[in-house]
Structure 1
Amino acid sequence: MESKKYLEDISQIKDLMNRSSRFISLSGLSGILAGTYAIVGALIAHFYLIPQQGGYVILHSWNFKMIVGVLIAVAILSLVTAYLLTSKKAKKNNEKVWDETTKRLLINFLIPLVTGGIYILIKLNSQHYGLTASLMLIFYGLALVNAAKYTIGKVRYLGYLQIVLGLICAAMPGYGFWFWVLGFGLLHIIYGSLIYFKEEKA
Protein backbone atom coordinates (compact mmCIF):
# COMPACT_ATOMS: atom_id res chain seq x y z
CA MET A 1 0.00 0.00 0.00
CA GLU A 2 2.79 2.39 0.95
CA SER A 3 4.67 1.43 -2.20
CA LYS A 4 1.64 2.31 -4.32
CA LYS A 5 1.25 5.67 -2.59
CA TYR A 6 4.96 6.35 -3.08
CA LEU A 7 4.65 5.68 -6.82
CA GLU A 8 1.62 7.97 -7.02
CA ASP A 9 3.56 10.73 -5.26
CA ILE A 10 6.47 10.30 -7.67
CA SER A 11 4.06 10.45 -10.60
CA GLN A 12 2.48 13.65 -9.28
CA ILE A 13 5.88 15.28 -8.73
CA LYS A 14 6.95 14.31 -12.24
CA ASP A 15 3.72 15.74 -13.64
CA LEU A 16 4.24 19.02 -11.77
CA MET A 17 7.82 19.28 -13.04
CA ASN A 18 6.64 18.60 -16.57
CA ARG A 19 3.96 21.27 -16.33
CA SER A 20 6.44 23.81 -14.98
CA SER A 21 8.94 23.28 -17.80
CA ARG A 22 6.64 22.58 -20.75
CA PHE A 23 3.58 24.23 -22.21
CA ILE A 24 1.24 21.30 -22.70
CA SER A 25 -1.98 23.06 -23.66
CA LEU A 26 -1.43 23.27 -27.40
CA SER A 27 -4.72 22.51 -29.09
CA GLY A 28 -4.95 19.69 -31.61
CA LEU A 29 -8.02 21.27 -33.15
CA SER A 30 -6.00 24.38 -33.96
CA GLY A 31 -3.61 22.17 -35.95
CA ILE A 32 -6.51 20.71 -37.91
CA LEU A 33 -7.87 24.16 -38.70
CA ALA A 34 -4.41 25.54 -39.57
CA GLY A 35 -3.98 22.74 -42.09
CA THR A 36 -7.42 23.45 -43.51
CA TYR A 37 -6.63 27.16 -43.85
CA ALA A 38 -3.38 26.28 -45.63
CA ILE A 39 -5.13 24.01 -48.13
CA VAL A 40 -7.84 26.59 -48.86
CA GLY A 41 -5.20 29.30 -49.30
CA ALA A 42 -3.16 27.04 -51.58
CA LEU A 43 -6.20 26.29 -53.73
CA ILE A 44 -6.94 30.00 -54.10
CA ALA A 45 -3.33 30.65 -55.11
CA HIS A 46 -3.22 27.68 -57.48
CA PHE A 47 -6.38 28.45 -59.41
CA TYR A 48 -6.29 32.24 -59.41
CA LEU A 49 -2.75 33.53 -58.82
CA ILE A 50 -0.07 31.08 -59.95
CA PRO A 51 0.59 31.04 -63.72
CA GLN A 52 -0.30 27.71 -65.25
CA GLN A 53 1.95 25.54 -67.42
CA GLY A 54 5.01 25.92 -65.21
CA GLY A 55 5.20 29.72 -65.17
CA TYR A 56 6.91 31.65 -62.39
CA VAL A 57 5.59 34.47 -60.25
CA ILE A 58 7.76 37.59 -60.52
CA LEU A 59 8.74 39.16 -57.20
CA HIS A 60 7.26 42.61 -57.79
CA SER A 61 4.19 41.46 -59.69
CA TRP A 62 0.59 41.85 -58.58
CA ASN A 63 0.24 38.07 -58.38
CA PHE A 64 3.17 37.80 -55.99
CA LYS A 65 1.70 40.47 -53.72
CA MET A 66 -1.63 38.66 -53.70
CA ILE A 67 0.06 35.34 -52.89
CA VAL A 68 1.87 37.02 -50.00
CA GLY A 69 -1.48 38.41 -48.90
CA VAL A 70 -3.00 34.91 -48.94
CA LEU A 71 -0.05 33.55 -46.94
CA ILE A 72 -0.40 36.34 -44.38
CA ALA A 73 -4.14 35.72 -44.12
CA VAL A 74 -3.53 31.99 -43.56
CA ALA A 75 -0.89 32.77 -40.94
CA ILE A 76 -3.12 35.27 -39.10
CA LEU A 77 -6.10 32.92 -39.13
CA SER A 78 -3.91 30.07 -37.87
CA LEU A 79 -2.37 32.18 -35.10
CA VAL A 80 -5.70 33.61 -33.93
CA THR A 81 -7.29 30.17 -33.96
CA ALA A 82 -4.34 28.65 -32.11
CA TYR A 83 -4.44 31.40 -29.49
CA LEU A 84 -8.18 31.12 -28.88
CA LEU A 85 -8.29 27.32 -28.71
CA THR A 86 -5.05 27.04 -26.74
CA SER A 87 -6.27 29.65 -24.26
CA LYS A 88 -9.46 27.67 -23.80
CA LYS A 89 -7.50 24.46 -23.23
CA ALA A 90 -5.04 26.17 -20.88
CA LYS A 91 -7.90 27.52 -18.80
CA LYS A 92 -9.34 24.03 -18.60
CA ASN A 93 -5.94 22.69 -17.48
CA ASN A 94 -5.47 25.55 -14.99
CA GLU A 95 -2.42 26.78 -16.91
CA LYS A 96 -1.32 30.28 -17.78
CA VAL A 97 -1.22 31.08 -21.48
CA TRP A 98 1.71 33.47 -21.06
CA ASP A 99 4.54 32.70 -18.65
CA GLU A 100 8.27 32.00 -18.78
CA THR A 101 7.73 28.64 -20.46
CA THR A 102 5.59 30.04 -23.28
CA LYS A 103 8.06 32.91 -23.66
CA ARG A 104 10.92 30.44 -24.15
CA LEU A 105 8.72 28.39 -26.47
CA LEU A 106 7.99 31.42 -28.64
CA ILE A 107 11.61 32.62 -28.74
CA ASN A 108 12.93 29.19 -29.71
CA PHE A 109 10.24 28.86 -32.36
CA LEU A 110 10.77 32.29 -33.88
CA ILE A 111 14.58 32.27 -34.17
CA PRO A 112 14.75 29.63 -36.96
CA LEU A 113 11.47 30.82 -38.47
CA VAL A 114 12.45 34.49 -38.78
CA THR A 115 15.94 33.54 -39.98
CA GLY A 116 14.41 31.34 -42.65
CA GLY A 117 11.93 34.02 -43.66
CA ILE A 118 14.69 36.58 -44.15
CA TYR A 119 16.80 34.10 -46.10
CA ILE A 120 13.87 33.24 -48.37
CA LEU A 121 13.25 36.93 -49.06
CA ILE A 122 16.93 37.35 -49.96
CA LYS A 123 16.71 34.43 -52.39
CA LEU A 124 13.51 35.79 -53.90
CA ASN A 125 15.06 39.21 -54.32
CA SER A 126 17.86 37.50 -56.25
CA GLN A 127 15.18 35.90 -58.45
CA HIS A 128 15.87 32.40 -57.11
CA TYR A 129 12.35 31.06 -56.83
CA GLY A 130 12.80 27.32 -57.21
CA LEU A 131 13.57 26.39 -53.60
CA THR A 132 11.06 28.68 -51.88
CA ALA A 133 8.65 25.92 -50.83
CA SER A 134 11.42 23.59 -49.67
CA LEU A 135 13.08 26.35 -47.63
CA MET A 136 9.76 27.22 -46.00
CA LEU A 137 9.24 23.59 -45.01
CA ILE A 138 12.80 23.12 -43.76
CA PHE A 139 12.96 26.26 -41.64
CA TYR A 140 9.47 25.67 -40.27
CA GLY A 141 10.50 22.14 -39.35
CA LEU A 142 13.64 23.45 -37.64
CA ALA A 143 11.50 25.94 -35.71
CA LEU A 144 9.22 23.15 -34.49
CA VAL A 145 12.13 20.94 -33.44
CA ASN A 146 13.81 23.85 -31.68
CA ALA A 147 10.65 24.72 -29.75
CA ALA A 148 9.64 21.13 -28.99
CA LYS A 149 11.58 20.96 -25.72
CA TYR A 150 9.19 23.52 -24.27
CA THR A 151 5.94 21.85 -25.30
CA ILE A 152 4.47 18.42 -26.01
CA GLY A 153 7.08 16.10 -27.48
CA LYS A 154 5.02 15.12 -30.51
CA VAL A 155 5.69 18.54 -32.02
CA ARG A 156 9.26 17.37 -32.62
CA TYR A 157 8.10 14.59 -34.93
CA LEU A 158 6.01 17.02 -36.95
CA GLY A 159 9.16 19.11 -37.29
CA TYR A 160 11.18 16.11 -38.47
CA LEU A 161 8.57 15.33 -41.10
CA GLN A 162 8.55 18.92 -42.34
CA ILE A 163 12.35 18.92 -42.66
CA VAL A 164 12.39 15.61 -44.55
CA LEU A 165 9.58 16.80 -46.79
CA GLY A 166 11.49 20.02 -47.48
CA LEU A 167 14.62 18.11 -48.44
CA ILE A 168 12.67 15.85 -50.79
CA CYS A 169 11.02 18.93 -52.23
CA ALA A 170 14.45 20.47 -52.89
CA ALA A 171 15.42 17.34 -54.82
CA MET A 172 12.24 17.47 -56.93
CA PRO A 173 12.00 20.95 -58.45
CA GLY A 174 8.71 21.78 -60.06
CA TYR A 175 6.61 20.17 -57.34
CA GLY A 176 7.14 22.76 -54.63
CA PHE A 177 3.51 23.82 -54.54
CA TRP A 178 2.27 20.30 -53.83
CA PHE A 179 4.93 19.65 -51.21
CA TRP A 180 3.89 22.91 -49.54
CA VAL A 181 0.27 21.72 -49.49
CA LEU A 182 1.36 18.36 -48.11
CA GLY A 183 3.52 19.88 -45.38
CA PHE A 184 1.52 22.87 -44.21
CA GLY A 185 -1.87 21.42 -45.04
CA LEU A 186 -2.13 17.65 -44.77
CA LEU A 187 0.57 17.08 -42.13
CA HIS A 188 -0.99 19.70 -39.87
CA ILE A 189 -4.39 18.06 -40.21
CA ILE A 190 -2.97 14.60 -39.45
CA TYR A 191 -0.91 15.87 -36.51
CA GLY A 192 -3.79 17.91 -35.10
CA SER A 193 -6.16 14.96 -35.45
CA LEU A 194 -3.79 12.66 -33.56
CA ILE A 195 -3.49 15.15 -30.70
CA TYR A 196 -7.18 15.99 -30.66
CA PHE A 197 -8.63 12.49 -30.74
CA LYS A 198 -5.92 10.77 -28.69
CA GLU A 199 -5.45 13.31 -25.91
CA GLU A 200 -8.19 15.93 -25.94
CA LYS A 201 -11.05 13.53 -26.59
CA ALA A 202 -9.65 10.80 -24.34
Structure 2
Amino acid sequence: MIDQQHLQALTDIKRLMERSSRFISLSGLSGIFAGMSGLGGALIAHNWLTEYYDRWNVSGVYSHTDFITLKYRLILLGCCVMTAALIGGSFFTWRKARKNNLPIWGLTARKVLINIAIPLGAGGAFIAGLLYNHLESLVAPTCLVFYGLSLINASKYTLNDVRYLGICETVLGIVNLFYLRKGLYFWGIGFGVLHIVYGVLMWWKYERKSAI
Protein backbone atom coordinates (compact mmCIF):
# COMPACT_ATOMS: atom_id res chain seq x y z
CA MET A 1 0.00 0.00 0.00
CA ILE A 2 2.81 2.39 0.97
CA ASP A 3 4.71 1.57 -2.24
CA GLN A 4 1.62 2.40 -4.29
CA GLN A 5 1.25 5.72 -2.49
CA HIS A 6 4.89 6.53 -3.16
CA LEU A 7 4.47 5.61 -6.83
CA GLN A 8 1.39 7.79 -7.10
CA ALA A 9 3.21 10.67 -5.42
CA LEU A 10 6.10 10.36 -7.89
CA THR A 11 3.64 10.27 -10.78
CA ASP A 12 1.95 13.43 -9.51
CA ILE A 13 5.29 15.20 -9.10
CA LYS A 14 6.34 14.19 -12.61
CA ARG A 15 3.04 15.48 -14.01
CA LEU A 16 3.42 18.80 -12.21
CA MET A 17 7.00 19.22 -13.44
CA GLU A 18 5.93 18.42 -16.99
CA ARG A 19 3.13 20.97 -16.83
CA SER A 20 5.49 23.68 -15.58
CA SER A 21 8.33 23.01 -18.03
CA ARG A 22 6.46 21.96 -21.19
CA PHE A 23 3.50 23.33 -23.08
CA ILE A 24 1.29 20.23 -23.31
CA SER A 25 -2.00 21.79 -24.40
CA LEU A 26 -1.37 21.27 -28.11
CA SER A 27 -4.34 19.49 -29.65
CA GLY A 28 -4.22 16.88 -32.39
CA LEU A 29 -7.29 18.52 -33.88
CA SER A 30 -5.18 21.64 -34.44
CA GLY A 31 -2.86 19.64 -36.69
CA ILE A 32 -5.78 18.10 -38.58
CA PHE A 33 -7.39 21.50 -39.12
CA ALA A 34 -4.07 23.01 -40.27
CA GLY A 35 -3.56 20.09 -42.66
CA MET A 36 -7.02 20.48 -44.16
CA SER A 37 -6.39 24.22 -44.58
CA GLY A 38 -3.08 23.47 -46.29
CA LEU A 39 -4.62 20.94 -48.68
CA GLY A 40 -7.46 23.34 -49.48
CA GLY A 41 -4.97 26.11 -50.24
CA ALA A 42 -2.86 23.78 -52.39
CA LEU A 43 -5.94 22.76 -54.39
CA ILE A 44 -6.91 26.39 -55.03
CA ALA A 45 -3.33 27.25 -56.03
CA HIS A 46 -3.23 24.26 -58.37
CA ASN A 47 -6.40 25.44 -60.11
CA TRP A 48 -5.02 28.95 -60.50
CA LEU A 49 -1.74 27.66 -61.94
CA THR A 50 -3.58 25.37 -64.35
CA GLU A 51 -5.70 28.26 -65.61
CA TYR A 52 -2.61 30.46 -65.99
CA TYR A 53 -0.66 27.90 -68.04
CA ASP A 54 -3.74 27.04 -70.12
CA ARG A 55 -4.08 30.72 -71.13
CA TRP A 56 -0.37 30.87 -71.89
CA ASN A 57 -0.52 27.73 -74.07
CA VAL A 58 -3.57 29.00 -75.97
CA SER A 59 -2.22 32.50 -76.65
CA GLY A 60 1.41 31.46 -77.08
CA VAL A 61 2.40 34.84 -75.62
CA TYR A 62 3.95 35.40 -72.19
CA SER A 63 2.05 38.01 -70.19
CA HIS A 64 4.06 39.68 -67.45
CA THR A 65 0.88 41.26 -66.07
CA ASP A 66 -0.80 37.85 -65.69
CA PHE A 67 2.30 36.50 -63.96
CA ILE A 68 2.44 39.36 -61.45
CA THR A 69 -1.30 38.99 -60.77
CA LEU A 70 -0.89 35.25 -60.15
CA LYS A 71 2.13 35.88 -57.95
CA TYR A 72 0.28 38.25 -55.62
CA ARG A 73 -2.81 36.03 -55.58
CA LEU A 74 -0.66 33.11 -54.43
CA ILE A 75 1.00 35.24 -51.74
CA LEU A 76 -2.42 36.35 -50.48
CA LEU A 77 -3.65 32.76 -50.55
CA GLY A 78 -0.67 31.63 -48.49
CA CYS A 79 -1.35 34.34 -45.91
CA CYS A 80 -5.02 33.32 -45.74
CA VAL A 81 -4.14 29.64 -45.26
CA MET A 82 -1.67 30.52 -42.51
CA THR A 83 -4.21 32.76 -40.78
CA ALA A 84 -6.91 30.07 -40.93
CA ALA A 85 -4.50 27.47 -39.54
CA LEU A 86 -3.47 29.78 -36.69
CA ILE A 87 -7.06 30.62 -35.77
CA GLY A 88 -8.14 26.97 -35.86
CA GLY A 89 -5.04 25.84 -33.97
CA SER A 90 -5.54 28.48 -31.28
CA PHE A 91 -9.19 27.49 -30.84
CA PHE A 92 -8.55 23.76 -30.44
CA THR A 93 -5.55 24.39 -28.17
CA TRP A 94 -7.62 26.75 -26.01
CA ARG A 95 -10.40 24.17 -25.83
CA LYS A 96 -8.04 21.40 -24.75
CA ALA A 97 -6.36 23.63 -22.15
CA ARG A 98 -9.72 24.63 -20.72
CA LYS A 99 -10.88 21.01 -20.58
CA ASN A 100 -7.73 19.95 -18.70
CA ASN A 101 -7.66 23.06 -16.46
CA LEU A 102 -4.30 24.14 -17.85
CA PRO A 103 -3.13 27.71 -18.45
CA ILE A 104 -3.20 28.66 -22.12
CA TRP A 105 -0.82 31.60 -21.77
CA GLY A 106 2.12 31.38 -19.44
CA LEU A 107 5.92 31.38 -19.37
CA THR A 108 6.20 28.07 -21.23
CA ALA A 109 3.72 29.14 -23.92
CA ARG A 110 5.71 32.34 -24.45
CA LYS A 111 8.92 30.32 -24.81
CA VAL A 112 7.25 28.13 -27.45
CA LEU A 113 6.01 31.19 -29.34
CA ILE A 114 9.40 32.94 -29.24
CA ASN A 115 11.31 29.85 -30.37
CA ILE A 116 8.88 29.38 -33.27
CA ALA A 117 8.81 33.06 -34.21
CA ILE A 118 12.59 33.52 -34.56
CA PRO A 119 13.15 30.94 -37.36
CA LEU A 120 9.82 31.82 -38.97
CA GLY A 121 10.71 35.51 -38.98
CA ALA A 122 14.07 34.74 -40.55
CA GLY A 123 12.36 32.48 -43.07
CA GLY A 124 9.82 35.16 -43.94
CA ALA A 125 12.58 37.69 -44.59
CA PHE A 126 14.49 35.13 -46.65
CA ILE A 127 11.40 34.37 -48.75
CA ALA A 128 10.81 38.09 -49.29
CA GLY A 129 14.34 38.28 -50.68
CA LEU A 130 13.67 35.33 -52.97
CA LEU A 131 10.53 36.98 -54.33
CA TYR A 132 12.36 40.29 -54.79
CA ASN A 133 15.02 38.52 -56.86
CA HIS A 134 12.41 36.55 -58.86
CA LEU A 135 13.41 33.17 -57.42
CA GLU A 136 9.84 31.95 -56.93
CA SER A 137 10.74 28.29 -57.45
CA LEU A 138 12.70 28.32 -54.18
CA VAL A 139 9.80 29.60 -52.07
CA ALA A 140 8.12 26.23 -51.38
CA PRO A 141 11.27 24.39 -50.17
CA THR A 142 12.31 27.43 -48.14
CA CYS A 143 8.90 27.50 -46.43
CA LEU A 144 9.22 23.84 -45.51
CA VAL A 145 12.81 24.06 -44.25
CA PHE A 146 12.34 27.15 -42.07
CA TYR A 147 9.00 25.88 -40.75
CA GLY A 148 10.59 22.56 -39.86
CA LEU A 149 13.47 24.30 -38.11
CA SER A 150 11.03 26.44 -36.12
CA LEU A 151 9.21 23.32 -34.90
CA ILE A 152 12.49 21.65 -33.95
CA ASN A 153 13.59 24.80 -32.14
CA ALA A 154 10.36 25.01 -30.12
CA SER A 155 9.99 21.28 -29.43
CA LYS A 156 12.16 21.43 -26.30
CA TYR A 157 9.36 23.36 -24.61
CA THR A 158 6.50 21.15 -25.76
CA LEU A 159 5.73 17.57 -26.78
CA ASN A 160 8.49 15.56 -28.44
CA ASP A 161 6.12 14.68 -31.29
CA VAL A 162 6.55 18.24 -32.56
CA ARG A 163 10.26 17.57 -33.11
CA TYR A 164 9.50 14.61 -35.37
CA LEU A 165 7.10 16.72 -37.43
CA GLY A 166 9.78 19.41 -37.71
CA ILE A 167 12.37 16.90 -38.91
CA CYS A 168 9.97 15.55 -41.55
CA GLU A 169 9.17 19.08 -42.78
CA THR A 170 12.86 20.00 -43.00
CA VAL A 171 13.81 16.82 -44.86
CA LEU A 172 10.88 17.29 -47.24
CA GLY A 173 12.00 20.86 -47.98
CA ILE A 174 15.55 19.72 -48.73
CA VAL A 175 14.28 17.02 -51.10
CA ASN A 176 12.09 19.65 -52.77
CA LEU A 177 15.26 21.57 -53.69
CA PHE A 178 16.06 18.81 -56.18
CA TYR A 179 12.55 18.97 -57.71
CA LEU A 180 11.89 22.71 -57.82
CA ARG A 181 9.10 22.55 -60.39
CA LYS A 182 7.09 20.28 -58.08
CA GLY A 183 7.04 22.79 -55.22
CA LEU A 184 3.25 22.94 -54.92
CA TYR A 185 3.03 19.17 -54.45
CA PHE A 186 5.73 19.21 -51.77
CA TRP A 187 3.99 22.16 -50.14
CA GLY A 188 0.72 20.23 -50.10
CA ILE A 189 2.40 17.16 -48.60
CA GLY A 190 4.28 19.16 -45.96
CA PHE A 191 1.58 21.55 -44.82
CA GLY A 192 -1.33 19.27 -45.66
CA VAL A 193 -0.69 15.55 -45.40
CA LEU A 194 2.03 15.64 -42.72
CA HIS A 195 -0.09 17.89 -40.51
CA ILE A 196 -3.09 15.59 -40.81
CA VAL A 197 -1.00 12.50 -40.02
CA TYR A 198 0.61 14.32 -37.08
CA GLY A 199 -2.77 15.51 -35.82
CA VAL A 200 -4.34 12.05 -35.99
CA LEU A 201 -1.39 10.49 -34.16
CA MET A 202 -1.47 13.22 -31.51
CA TRP A 203 -5.20 12.80 -30.99
CA TRP A 204 -4.88 9.02 -30.80
CA LYS A 205 -1.97 9.20 -28.38
CA TYR A 206 -3.09 11.95 -26.00
CA GLU A 207 -6.78 12.74 -26.49
CA ARG A 208 -8.60 9.58 -27.54
CA LYS A 209 -9.25 8.28 -24.03
CA SER A 210 -10.71 11.55 -22.82
CA ALA A 211 -12.96 11.76 -25.89
CA ILE A 212 -14.49 8.32 -25.35
Question: TM-score, normalized by length of structure 2?
Answer: 0.89
Across the two proteins, how many residue pairs are aligned to each other?
201
> Matched residue of 1:23: which SS?
coil
Segment of structure 1 superposing worse, 61-70 or 109-118: 61-70
Q: Does 1:191 align with 2:198?
A: yes
> Matched residue of 1:198: which SS?
helix
Tell me the distance in 1 between the aligned counterparts of 2:63 and 2:85: 25
Q: Does 1:112 align with 2:119?
A: yes
Q: Does 1:71 align with 2:71?
A: no
Tell me the distance in 2 between the aligned counterparts of 1:34 and 1:27: 11
Of 125, 150, 168 in structure 1, the residue corresponding to residue 175 of structure 2 is: 168
> Matched residue of 1:61: which SS?
helix
Q: How far apart are residue 12 of structure 1 and its match?
A: 0.9
Task: List per-residue Cα deviations over 1:120-167 (Å, max 9, x = no partner).
Answer: 110111112222111100000000000111111100000000011011
Q: Does 1:91 align with 2:95?
A: no
Unaligned runs of 5+ in 2: 57-61
Tell me the distance in 2 between the aligned counterparts of 1:57 and 1:47: 18
Alpha-carbon distance change, 121 to 58 in structure 1, aligned in 2, over 3 angstroms: farther
Tell me the distance in 2 between the aligned counterparts of 1:113 and 1:79: 14
For 1:136, the equivalent position in structure 2 comes to: 143
Tell me the distance in 2 between the aligned counterparts of 1:68 and 1:149: 31
Task: List per-residue Cα deviations over 1:22-62 (Å, max 9, x = no partner).
Answer: 11111111110111111111111111246438x99979811
Trace 1:6-45 onto structure 2 (pairs within 5 A).
6-45=6-45
Unaligned runs of 5+ in 1: none
The structure with more helix, counted as a fraction of residues? 2
Identity value in percent: 42
Runs of 4+ in structure 1 over 2 Å off: 49-53, 55-60
Given that 1:25 and 1:90 are in contact with CA atoms closer than 8 Å, whether structure 2 keeps it comes out as: yes
Give the partner amino acid of 1:128. Answer: L
Question: TM-score, normalized by length of structure 1?
Answer: 0.93
For 1:124, the equivalent position in structure 2 comes to: 131
Give the partner amino acid of 2:53. Answer: Q
Give the partner amino acid of 1:126. Answer: N
For 1:52, the equivalent position in structure 2 comes to: 53
Q: How far apart are residue 73 of structure 1 and its match?
A: 1.0
For 1:81, the equivalent position in structure 2 comes to: 88
